[in-house]
Structure 1
Amino acid sequence: MEIKTLESEFAEQYREIRLTALQTNPESFSASYEEERLYPIERFIARLENPHAFTFGALIEDKLVGVVRLVLEQSEKMKHRANIYGMYVLPDYRSNGIGKSLMEQAIEKVKETVYIEQIYLTVVATNVPAKKLYQSLGFAVFGLDKRALRVRDTYFDEELMVLQLKG
């Protein structure tokens, strides 16, 4: 397995895994498959080329099997923060440390950015494996967003988590 920063040549694979994630686990993402399937490939290329964000991919024999996105805040008052979005590993590849490797790569990237003091993420409150992963990396819950997401007629709470790197 190799973890690398995805660039525009991975846009098609990134789009494919993103759409799979939105279909497979709709409760885990604020975006919806119905919306994102309509996005042109240029939108995925733009995500990968954003200078303030990094999309890390786990590759096994050139197949993208997992992704996570790190976005650095840009406003003056929030530049000390970064956010994790879109964490996903294909079901057949779970429980092999791929998610942990992706998260560790994102955390390492943040540590290279000396002005970032904390990393935020949200996780569906019922997603026990993801919560265990994040807690094992030092993330702690600091809040609960009740009924944060609605998929059809079912509501999902999200736990707000933070990893304090400084302070």
Structure 2
Amino acid sequence: MKIIRLKPEHASDYYQLRIEALQNSPEAFASSYEEEVRQSAAKYETRFGMDDSYTFGAFQDGCLVGSVTLLKEQLKKLSHRVNIVAMYVKPEYRGFGIAAALMEKAIQTARQIGEVEQIHLTVVSTNTRAIKLYEKNGFTLYGTVNQSLKTGSNYVDELLMVRFL
């Protein structure tokens, strides 16, 4: 397995992975499949060229099988924080340490950015595997947003987690 920072030329592969993630785990993301499928890979070409967004991809045999994004806060008073979003690993590749390797790369990058003191993320309360991964990597719970996401008539709570560097 190889983990790299995605570049604009990876946008199409990432877009396909993102669509899959939203289809396979709709409750885990604030974005919906219906919204994302109306977008295009060009959206990610732009994002992957930016300095304040770091999307890492895990490749197995040349195929993108997982990803995570680290976003730097833009406001001066929040410049000591980054956010982890859009963590996903294809189901058939789970259990092999890919998510842990992606998380390690994101944390390592956060340390290298400079000024960063905190890493924030949200996770749905039903995703126990992700919660365990985050706790294992030093994240602690600091709040819950009840009924944060709604799909149809179903609600999911989101847990707010932070890791101090």
- Partner residue, 2:12: 12
Deviation at 1:50, TM superposition (A): 1.9
Runs of 4+ in structure 1 over 3 Å off: none
Aligned pairs for 1:68-87 within 5 A: 68-87=68-87
2:55 aligns to what?
A: 55
Amino acid at match of 1:96: F
3-state secondary structure, aligned to 1:50: coil
Residues 35-44 or 67-76, more deviating: 35-44
Matched, 1:93 2:118: no
Q: Shift of the alpha carbon at 1:152? A: 1.5
> Where in structure 2 are the equivalents of 1:1-167 lying within 5 Å?
1-165=1-165
Q: Structure 2: which amino acid aligns with 1:123? A: V
Normalising by structure 1, what TM-score?
A: 0.97
Aligned residues: 165
Distance 2:70 2:41 in 1: 20
CA–CA distance in 2 between the matches of 1:40 and 1:16? 10
Relative to the length of structure 2, the TM-score reads: 0.98
Counterpart AA for 1:160: L
Q: How big is each residue's C-alpha offset from its partner over 1:5-49, in whole Å with a ceiling of 9 and x where there is no partner?
A: 000111110000000000100000000110010112211211211
**What's the offset of the Cα at 1:113?**
1.6
Structure 2 distance, partners of 1:69, 1:101, is: 13
1:86: how far off?
0.2
* Paired AA for residue 90 in structure 1: K
Gapped runs of 5+ residues in structure 1?
none
Task: Give SS of 2:95's match.
Answer: coil
Q: Quick one: which amino acid aligns to residue 116 of structure 1?
A: V
Q: CA deviation at 1:51?
A: 1.3
Percent of paired sites with the same residue: 44
Distance 1:12 1:69 in 2: 16
Structure 2: gaps spanning 5 or more residues:
none
The residue type equivalent to 2:159 in the other structure is E
Structure 2 CA distance for aligned equivalents of residues 79 and 44 of structure 1: 23
Aligned partner of residue 122 in structure 1, secondary structure: strand
